[in-house]
Amino acid sequence: MNFFDNDFSEDMGDLLFGRAPEHGTLDLMSPDNTSDGVIRKRWKIVDGKRCLVKGGTGQNMQEPFNEAIASMLMDSQGIDHVGYRLAWSGKIPVSVCEDFVGKHTELVTAHGVCRIPRKANDASLYSHYVRICDSLGIDVVPSLDRMIVIDYIMANRDRHLGNFGLVRDADPSGASAPHPCTTTGRHCAATCARNGWNRISTRPASLSGGPSRSSWSLSQTWNGSTRTPCSRSSRKSRSCWTSGGS
């Protein structure tokens, strides 16, 4: 059974967002069992499409707004990316994107790609990744450089080898292509408060009440309330991705 074609339980997703299951037992038949990352997230079927719903962190919960801003920026520049839109779960902002892989494709992260041969001590992560992809007949430089520029413009601090890579045809002889740009939520001082910049308000006052529920199909189909995500302690960024060294 795969969840691209079959329905799945929402119990685990509800639990991850602070809601207890409505019935006595917990149905674990869900793709949410294998979701990872710092930000809470869940899968929903919205208008027949598999969509990833991501929350925010801290008091400002700015990440969903950032994802929508980054999507608008990349739309304006014609950059291939995973499109995010802003929605609301009760009074909690969330970002929503459609699944960009299907039952015939799979994501191979840059972390997995870079493990194929060992990186030389004098090579940067950038050159190591590009060299491997070149050997596989995949030109990743244009998409990679665009991603780095967007991260620089948006001050994204969450770029690491686990949130970009290649989309591969699951057929044994299938081709691979660069992963569309995604995971741009932790930028624009999204974590300032936890670093002591409490005087900075990163949530626009005009959005504090949220858009009307009729604005997004998700809000029409999923309007259960959730608890405010707890602030996590600051941690060192993982595998900082730059073109200037390892």
Under DSSP, is residue 222 helix (H, G, I), strand (E, B) or coil? coil
**Residue that is written with structure tokens 């990316």 in the block:** 81
Q: Which domains does the chain have, with CATH numbers?
A: 11-100+203-221 (3.30.200.120), 105-178 (no CATH)
From first to last of the 246 residues of the chain, give the pLDDT tens digit. Answer: 688 878 888 888 888 887 777 777 788 888 888 787 778 888 898 888 899 999 888 888 888 998 899 899 999 989 888 899 999 888 889 999 998 888 888 888 999 999 888 899 999 999 999 999 999 999 999 999 999 998 888 888 888 888 899 998 877 766 788 878 876 666 665 555 455 444 433 443 333 333 333 233 333 233 333 333 333 333 333 333 333 333
In the chain, where do the E strands start and end?
Answer: 41-46, 49-54, 85-89, 92-98, 105-109, 165-169, 176-178
pTM score of the predicted model: 0.67
End-to-end Cα distance, the chain: 41
List 88's β-bridge partners, or say none: 93
Q: Which tokens is 34 given?
A: 């294998």
DSSP string, 17-82: TT---SSSS----SGGGG--SSS-EEEEEETTEEEEEE---TTT--HHHHHHHHHHHHHHHT--B-
Q: How many helices (H) and strands (E) does the chain have?
A: 6, 7
User: Rounded to whole angstroms, how far apart are CA atoms 80 and 96?
Assistant: 17
List 52's β-bridge partners, or say none.
43, 97
Query: How far is C-alpha 196 from the geometric centre of its chain's CA atoms?
Result: 25
Nearest to 198 by CA among 59, 41, 80, 53: 59
Phi, psi of 105 (to 5 degrees): -130, 160
